[in-house]
């Protein structure tokens, strides 16, 4: 779908994704066959399935990759504290024991607005679960550059160890790749030691080619993850968009040796959908990219359906939703 730069680094790097100089050669070389991408996406839910104990294991893995999220106008400290309690114990201990799972599991992170970062950090103290803050004028990104930088810095000071930034979509739509690179690079520098996830808002970028090009530029600018959506657009995470983004990640890894993570977000609500994305990661990038350090699912309601499916596997019946703790 895209040519990689001529210089290929064979070494695999385990450290932080670095900021690299802007290289427009792979951006200009991008070619995307939309029909082929859509055919590939259509095969993922049908060609490969996981059943019984394998499905249970995959669902437990999916639970551990979730960025458990609340980004509502009516968020309160109580809402966030409940969400953090669910992140600490996403699956009931008795159910885990009945599934033969000895060690406790947690979600990948908790994702909140800046104003709730301190509450989340306090609620998760000692758990090792990172707090991710959405930033840079989320979800539209239509605030001043100075405000964007200040918001990142304030969230980091408040204790966020991951920052989900939104890219300026106008730079993609006008093909101003230098401006996109410079802004995302500045965001990365403002993040300091906090990991940065760049939200492309793919539903607003117009074409799959734009998605691929924006992915490349954001990775060159030092993005630790690239993320599909804010969850606030009319179209959020889809399999065709995800295929384009993970293939950009693969090409970038093959060219540089640096591993960038991937986060689909928005509209992933069922356990079956989470399996589709895990299958995508396994087939396109390999098992390493199925783990929380390189793969996250941004979701709020997904965890409840995963727990229901695990209960069905363990007990042969579905529990009523009223018996499940809600974030």
Catalytic residue from among 67, 86, 148, 164: 164
Q: What is the mean pLDDT of residues 210-225?
A: 98
Annotated catalytic residue 224? no
CATH number of the 25-323 domain: 3.20.20.70
CB-CB neighbours of 287 under 10 Å = 9
Q: Residue 113 and residue 124: Cα distance in Å, rounded?
A: 16
Q: Residue 69 and residue 112: Cα distance in Å, rounded?
A: 6
Catalytic residue from among 227, 259, 276, 305: 227
Annotated catalytic residue 146? no
Exposure string of 99-109, with b = 16+ CB inside 10 Å and e = fewer, is bebeeeebbbb
pLDDT digits (tens, 9 = 90+) for 187-213: 999 999 999 999 999 999 999 999 999
DSSP assignment letter at 294: T
pLDDT digits (tens, 9 = 90+) for 137-165: 999 999 999 999 999 999 999 999 999 99
7 HSE (CA, 13 A, CB side): 3
Annotated catalytic residue 263? yes
Q: Are 31 and 1 in contact (CB under 8 A)?
A: yes
Give the domain ranges of the chain.
Answer: 25-323
pLDDT digits (tens, 9 = 90+) for 272-319: 999 999 999 999 999 999 999 999 999 989 999 999 999 999 999 887
């Amino acid at each position: 779908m895209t040519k990689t730069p001529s210089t290929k680094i064979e070494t695999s790097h385990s450290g932080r994704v670095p900021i690299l100089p802007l290289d427009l050669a792979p951006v200009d070389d991008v070619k995307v066959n939309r029909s082929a991408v859509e055919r590939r996406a259509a095969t993922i839910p049908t060609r490969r399935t996981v059943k019984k104990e394998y499905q249970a294991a995959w669902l437990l893995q999916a639970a551990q990759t979730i960025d458990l999220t609340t980004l509502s106008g009516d968020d309160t400290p109580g809402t966030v504290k409940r969400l953090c309690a669910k992140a600490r114990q996403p699956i009931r201990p008795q159910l885990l024991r009945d599934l033969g799972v000895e060690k406790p599991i947690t979600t990948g992170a908790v994702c909140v607005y800046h104003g709730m970062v301190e509450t989340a950090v306090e609620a998760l103290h000692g758990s090792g679960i990172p707090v991710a803050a959405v930033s840079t004028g989320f979800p539209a990104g239509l605030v001043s550059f100075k405000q964007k930088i200040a918001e990142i810095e304030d969230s980091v000071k408040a204790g966020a160890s991951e920052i989900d930034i939104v890219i300026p979509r106008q730079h993609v739509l006008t093909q101003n790749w230098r401006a996109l690179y410079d802004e995302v690079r500045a965001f990365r520098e403002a993040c300091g030691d906090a990991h940065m996830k760049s939200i492309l808002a793919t539903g607003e970028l117009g074409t799959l080619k734009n998605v691929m090009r924006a992915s490349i530029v954001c990775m060159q600018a030092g993005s630790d993850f690239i993320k599909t959506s804010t969850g606030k657009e009319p179209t959020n995470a889809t399999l065709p968009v995800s295929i384009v983004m993970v293939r950009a990640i693969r090409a970038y890894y093959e060219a540089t040796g640096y591993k960038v993570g991937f986060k689909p977000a928005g509209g992933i609500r069922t356990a079956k959908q989470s399996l589709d994305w895990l299958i995508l990661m396994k087939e396109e990038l390999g098992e390493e990219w199925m783990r929380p350090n390189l793969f996250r699912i941004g979701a709020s309601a997904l965890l409840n359906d995963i727990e229901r499916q695990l209960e069905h596997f363990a007990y042969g019946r579905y529990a009523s939703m009223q018996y499940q703790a809600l974030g």
